Structure 1
């Protein structure tokens, strides 16, 4: 997906950090970004920006006081992108980099990043903010499957070329399942790494990883306000343990076959088009809730929210 990055030149440092964090998505072929640094000497500035904007599928606005104050960024680039967004020709994602009055601007009507619109500058570790941005962009691209076309119908001479988002049925091998499980585990562990760092920066809360082994990790949270402590261990199913699910978790400093609770087990399932996660139903033992198809990010969110609730913490 081609992404147009709109920013104030006074926020160039945020642009450079975002580009660094987008590197893996570039390597994966998920995104290619454009900004005005791509304009070559001698080119028309307005024409180059207009051409790049109208051919993009994603518009990332690095929002700050300077961005809002910039007539060109706000009035020209963003206004044009917003119109394309309303016409469903473009996805607009505001990225709040500095505290500003963005909620009362048109940005306030669109889901912003990082999480809860908390400006990058306000995070204890800015890398955690950018990690959250990347995770949400991956989730966006996976859910949309890059299906937001710049032009659904493109005129070619006197004929029309129609571009549709085709779904192709396929089967999934054991290799596919293994790769899906490993990639999911990596995403879940990254989610917890970011969340642990963020939680540890909050008053009265302490959090850390106590163990990180092959196919499992353990973390610990202490809430000094109510003197509650809780361990969590997450592991992927290995050979000989697959009947306990493809991923399980326990509120302890380790998981043994005797401690696995079947309502804390996730399994990989698939339909004719894609693989997904399901969670065991506590009412029906081994039967998963097949109506609820989960991504790795959603699995991580479910486990994390249950984990922090154990020590009296919630989100929102």
Structure 2
């Protein structure tokens, strides 16, 4: 059984919890056990405990994000320790790109990262798809390490040795399912809705500029109506071929929290809408009109996933 250790920023704890859920099949198969610093019990000397687990690790996952790189402890201590063991062939270090950041020129940038092409997990339309790729990469690493074929004799001999109360509490087996349902306040939800419409506005502006730059026959028009709404249009040789309005709807309208209409911003109708929901771990958007297709249908969308969903609807006339 291989020992897998997480190096991460606590800002990314929710994403780490999600990744650990996706790793559960490997745990149930007896291929891995996992450790992170939330397992440290009160009164334990932190640095020594973390060092010990890094020294024991077969696989070290660096959960890369702007906050991870910004953390002096993660970057200066944990990354250095991990790469030293990787260079000696004592452990395998795997960078897992959680969120968009400039990581390629950093010391771990020379290592093959996951998901493929360093595509951040948070930018997948459904984060489950991103974590699935991460798990497949870890399975490949385990195959190379021969973790699934390791003899259990070492585990038996270790378990037969007497253990002190301190060591059994600090290093003994325990569940990874330690997360509890998180309550989101109205303020949390209002901020998420506001950030969602702001992200959509930036996403559409940038996408319009890029598609026109790549296709000389196309022109675009973008109008920011107010802080909570905008309209976008594409013209092919002067003829309007794509048009939409996207706006943040009031809760009393019954449409959803963010609405999409091919006719522009409206108070009376829409073609699609998403509502803000939570799964007990994180906030996300869910399509209300059944327009989502594929294995991720029905799951919560990140801001990136919501934007891709609406953009695909917007440019559909250019695709067919």
TM-score interval for Structure 1 and Structure 2 normalised by the shorter chain = 0.3 to 0.5
The structure whose RCO (Cα within 8 Å, separation 6+) is larger is 2
Give me the TM-score of the superposition, normalised by structure 2: 0.47
Give TM-score, length-normalised by structure 1: 0.48
Q: Which has the larger radius of gyration?
A: 2
